[in-house]
Amino acid sequence: KNIELNLTEYLRKENCFVYTDIAKLKQILNNLISNAVKFTRIGKVEFGCLLKKNAIEFFVKDSGIGIHKDMHEQIFERFRQVEVDTTRDFGGLGLGLSISKEYVEMLGGKIWLKSKLNEGAEFYFNIPLISDENAIDDKKQTIAVENDNFEFKTILIAEDNELNFVYLEELLSITKAKIIRAKNGLEAIELCRTNKNIDLVLMDIKMPLLNGFEATKQIKKFRPDLHIIAQTAYAFADDKLKTIESGCNDYIAKPIIEKDFFEIINKFLK
């Protein structure tokens, strides 16, 4: 549809845990984001989450047709659709919102919106933080024993896409490795040249200015021993060959699976 979809706020280093039903949480976000995309013709959809006092607050904002104030309560009711003229063009909100509301409430949270007709819509919901300190400690310990500690290692993530970067950074946060980022191939080369502490590079292939294949070739010229792992959505045999030819030590396919990811990281960092 040629509209932007952006993650604009997210939790990074904070230690905040929610015990929740991941399938339901995903379904709620899916419903809200697909509705937002559906009702937006031009502009953008933004989503993310913030830490509030006792909850994590999620939001999905769009620059779409908006929802009249009179409808704000009704749209969460089962089987009801927005009965404005635009329904014809956009197909109504359907069941997504009433299901989302039910799920949010099952998870102990609330859902609400801010919107005016023709001025976009902002949907919010929250999931309460867990208050049981022991439960938090248990969770931390479980994660800690499952993963290795790379406190003194530096990993360069070469990745142009914000979401992909945040995902990798989040996966790696538990290892305590120092993370640095390059947003394109040229930056990756420059960082490898100037930062001698880099132990491992996670190299995206499709990047602006210079792609991962070329960046790897260049880096290997001055740091032949640096381990470079290609991470790419290209899943064809040809491309695998190309990553190896360009000098990458290994290859991980996107979407990245946590277990495979750590297997490969451990192989090179241990």
Q: Which stretch binds Mn ion (CB under 5 A): 1-9, 96-104, 116-124, 153-161?
A: 153-161
User: Which is nearer to Mn ion, 100 or 232 (by Cβ)?
Assistant: 232
CB atoms within 10 A of CB 266: 13
Residue by residue, what is the 3-state secondary structure of the chain?
Answer: CCCEEEEEECCCCCCCCCCCCHHHHHHHHHHHHHHHHHCCCCCEEEEEEEECCCEEEEEEEECCCCCCHHHCCHHHCCCCCCCCCCHHHHCCCCCHHHHHHHHHHHCCCCEEEEECCCCCEEEEEEEECCCCHHHHHHHHHHHHHHCCCCCCCEEEEECCCHHHHHHHHHHHHCCCCEEEEECCHHHHHHHHHHCCCEEEEEEECCCCCCCHHHHHHHHHHHCCCCEEEEEECCCCHHHHHHHHHCCCCEEEECCCCHHHHHHHHHHHHC
What is the nearest approach in angstroms of Mn ion to the Cβ of residue 37?
21
Q: Contact between 187 and Mn ion (CB under 5 A)?
A: no
What is the nearest approach in angstroms of Mn ion to the Cβ of residue 236?
17
Q: Which stretch binds Mn ion (CB under 5 A): 24-32, 39-47, 70-78, 203-211?
A: 203-211
User: Which is nearer to Mn ion, 62 or 159 (by Cβ)?
Assistant: 159
What is the nearest approach in angstroms of Mn ion to the Cβ of residue 160?
4
Q: Which stretch binds Mn ion (CB under 5 A): 17-25, 39-47, 110-118, 154-162?
A: 154-162
Q: Contact between 160 and Mn ion (CB under 5 A)?
A: yes
Q: Contact between 206 and Mn ion (CB under 5 A)?
A: yes
CB atoms within 10 A of CB 207: 23
Q: Contact between 62 and Mn ion (CB under 5 A)?
A: no
User: In the complex, which residue's CB is closest to Mn ion?
Assistant: 206
Q: Are 233 and 254 in contact (CB under 8 A)?
A: yes
Q: Contact between 220 and Mn ion (CB under 5 A)?
A: no
What is the nearest approach in angstroms of Mn ion to the Cβ of residue 202?
12
Q: Which stretch binds Mn ion (CB under 5 A): 95-103, 112-120, 202-210, 262-270?
A: 202-210
User: Could you say which residues in the range 117-136 bind Mn ion, by CB under 5 A?
Assistant: none
User: Which is nearer to Mn ion, 114 or 254 (by Cβ)?
Assistant: 254
Among the listed residues 25, 155, 204, 229, the single contact to Mn ion using CB under 5 A: 204
Q: Which residues bind Mn ion (CB under 5 A)?
A: 160, 204, 206
